[in-house]
Chains A and B, each alone.
Chain A
């Protein structure tokens, strides 16, 4: 199982756009879950991350563990998580 990246976003979130651009530049595939369009996902991501903010990037690693890569626009944390 390869690494899977999921970006949680909302409409009108400039930092979310930035995270997606960053992943595009890094040529990293990712899924997007827009919480405005998928409100049923909100409780789950808040429970998993403890955060009430977007963007949140989660990585599911080769073992199937779901890890928080970054909360907000944090290229340092995101870069480290992608490299791990």
Chain B
């Protein structure tokens, strides 16, 4: 990002489905819109293998294709998507400052749509062997495990869906579940079929304590407990899907009010505790963590931003 002194109408933090939808709405009304993304345009949706519950796609759509289309639609109307990490935001009245790794951005309004990221196990071996046997993206890395044994960690929809996807490659999958399966009925039916075909074994009440690479290079074993008894399993790789954490660390020194798990509190117009700062999508307290609802919230946030800018007067003098 080059130095940018312009006072933008809105800076959107994140470029997932919620922000991209908001950007479609704002840019179509000539509201000057900059999006700042630190990871992947399209967010977690982009690295999801397949999306079957997004309206308008009767046969489903790959997450990456959906993200690409959302990005193209936003850019068609003039959304300016930039890469960088947002470090903090500052409210100096009618003007806000977004501090990024590439320099500050000035804005009349901010939309925080940073979504969430995969929760980590936080056990020995997890960070050390990331990419060398520990993974969080089945669509990216699953194909490296053709005819190999995998452990998938988690018992929710993501874990079950990704375990089913990984059966395309792996010789066998052990699904390690801390308590009990919490996946939807549709997915439970699919996993029952995979179990009956011998592709997946489910281990309930199983908690990992370490991921081991005996040769110090690539993972070959996980250890922990199963129903309170010692448990170990020989595997070639581990895929972790144990839930999500909101990406709100950069707000810790701001006045944006968060709930007890770090998600952003908003009012009915999706405005946060700071006037002119809005939040939408998975990062918002009360969000349903669905692409369709994130997109809907993006539209709502965009309309609230338009209303705010109209109230403030679109032609604020540049200080």
For A54, the closest partner residue in chain B by CB is B140
Assembly CA distance A25 to B41 (angstroms): 15
**A13 located at the interface, meaning its Cβ lies under 8 Å from any Cβ of chain B in the complex:** yes
List, in ascending order, chain A residues with CB within 8 A of B140's CB.
10, 12-16, 53-54
Complex contact A17–B133 (CB within 8 A): no
Q: Which residue of B lies closest to A22 (CB)?
A: B83
A12-B49, A14-B46 known; A53 and B141 CB under 8 Å? yes
Query: Does A36 contact B143, Cβ atoms closer than 8 Å?
Result: yes
The residue that B83 contacts in the complex, of A12, A17, A50, A75, with Cβ under 8 A, is: A75
Complex: how many Å from CA A14 to CA B44?
9
Residues of A within 8 A of B217 (CB): 50
CB distance from B82 to the nearest CB of A (A): 9
In the assembled complex, the Cα of A32 lies from the Cα of B124 at a distance in Å of: 34
Q: Nearest Cβ distance between residue A58 and chain B, in whole angstroms? A: 14
**B-facing mask of A1-37, CB < 8 A → 1, else 0?**
0000000001011111110011001000000000110
Quote the shortest CB–CB distance from B150 to chain A (angstroms). 11
Q: For window 46-73 of chain A, which residues contact chain B by CB distance below 8 Å? A: 46, 50-54, 71-73
| Segment of B59-67, B171-179, B263-271, B293-301 engaged in the interface with chain A | B59-67
**Is there a chain A Cβ closer than 8 Å to B137's Cβ?**
yes
A68 CA / B40 CA spacing, docked (Å):
21
Asked whether B42 lies within 8 Å of A14 as measured between CB atoms, the reply is yes
CA distance A10 to B142 in the complex (A): 10
Q: Write out the residue numbers on chain A whose beta carbons fall within 8 Å of the beta carbon of B141.
A: 52-54
Instruction: Mark contacts of B206-243 with chain A using CB atoms, 8 A cut-off: 1 yes-contact digit, 0 otherwise.
Output: 00000000000110000000000000000001000000
Q: How many residues of A contact B (CB 8 A)?
A: 24
- Complex contacts, A14 vs chain B, CB 8 Å: 40-42, 46-47, 63-64, 67, 139-140
Say how far A3's CB is from chain B's closest CB, in angstroms: 21
Select the residue from A25, A36, A75 with max chain B CB neighbours within 10 A: A75
Q: Of A12, A21, A51, A73, which one neighbours B64 at CB under 8 angstroms?
A: A12
Q: Residues of B contacting A35 with CB < 8 Å?
A: 143
Contact with A along B62-100 (1 / 0, CB 8 A): 111001100000000000000100000000000000000
Q: Which residues of A contact B (CB under 8 A)?
A: 10, 12-18, 21-22, 25, 35-36, 42, 46, 50-54, 71-73, 75
Top 7 closest A-B pairs, CB basis? A52-B144, A14-B46, A53-B131, A51-B131, A13-B140, A14-B40, A53-B141
